[in-house]
Amino acid sequence: MNIAVTGGAGFIGSNFVYYELKNHPEDRIICFDALTYAGNLETLNSAMENPSFKFIRGDITNRKQVETFFENEKPDILVNFAAESHVDRSIENPQLFLETNVLGTSVLLDACRKYSVDRYHQVSTDEVYGDLPLDRPDMMFTEESNLHTSSPYSASKASADLLVQAYERTYKVPATISRCSNNYGPFHFPEKLIPLMIINALNNRKLPVYGDGLNVRDWLYVEDHCKAIDLIIREGHVGEVYNIGGHNEHSNMDVVKMILHELNKPESLIEHVADRKGHDRRYAIDPTKIQTELGWQPETKFEDGIKKTIKWYLDNRSWWEHIMNGEYQHYYERMYGSRKKYVYSSL
């Protein structure tokens, strides 16, 4: 099969690319990514060496680029990871999130309809459900939970989900949706909580924690997430939503302290800062549906996953140092700008 991965130079998308190349060598993987600030082509260096992989630079909001991609690559399955995903950035610039996450999704759906793909899969988030109270650990999000967004980011993702469901019902686009809890692992962009805390701790800088730090997240190791998506696109039922959770609930403060302990750094590095606007208190996913229907289970305990993640950042300093100094943003033109087989049109 030809599997198109939009946003494949980002965190979860790149991990999915590597998962597919390893576990399904019979398939061809084509990455379509605009290489915005969070897309890092260096992340795909090893994939570039695989003859089953191809990278195309393009923007999902650009209809001409998307249709050219479909005409040339003829994907059987499209997995959409492409999204603006940082909540703080969405508060500063909501329009960008609407353009990429909603309008971009509509362009992809139109192309899937026009070129008759076998499956369109939308990678969504548990943030579309809003939050849960800290004093009700028995409460969890299910696929039937109401959408109740708290930020421009989550509103844009919920809007995209509704659009996917509308295209499935109205135009019979064979679509599925997954909503995951917070991911962590290799290639996580340094602005997010876990990599930021690891990098700051390594450099003996203050670790900024929003508010009281008691906000709780259900942490999902990224490889476990990739396994779930792989199952959904191959065995999941068209029109269905699947929640993917890690059964690993921890407060932000607990996560930060684990990182400091693992790196043998003092807790005095923690610095409380003003809380984020509309900051959700707790997320918790009930993954019973995907466990029952597809046999998926999260395999990585947080205590093990965080150690693997910290080791990865220790072993791959050049990757995140290039991001911190901005060098990664020039990597594409330096390495591939003149190699036309990697690009259909410039952005």
Q: What residues are labeled active site?
A: 126-127, 153
Angle between helices 193-202 and 252-262 (to 10 degrees): 30
Read off φ and ψ for residue 287, nearest 5 degrees: -95, 25
Give the pair of three-digit tokens for residue 16: 């999915």
Strand partners of residue 273: 210
Q: CB within 8 A of 175, min separation 6: which ones?
A: 109, 112, 119, 120, 121, 122, 164, 165, 167, 168, 238, 239
CA distance 163 to 142: 20
User: Both tokens of residue 150?
Assistant: 């708290």
Residue 220 has a CB neighbour count (10 Å cut-off) of: 28
Q: What is the rounded distance in angstroms from the CA atom of residue 272 to the CA atom of residue 269?
A: 10
Tokens in use for 39? 């897309």
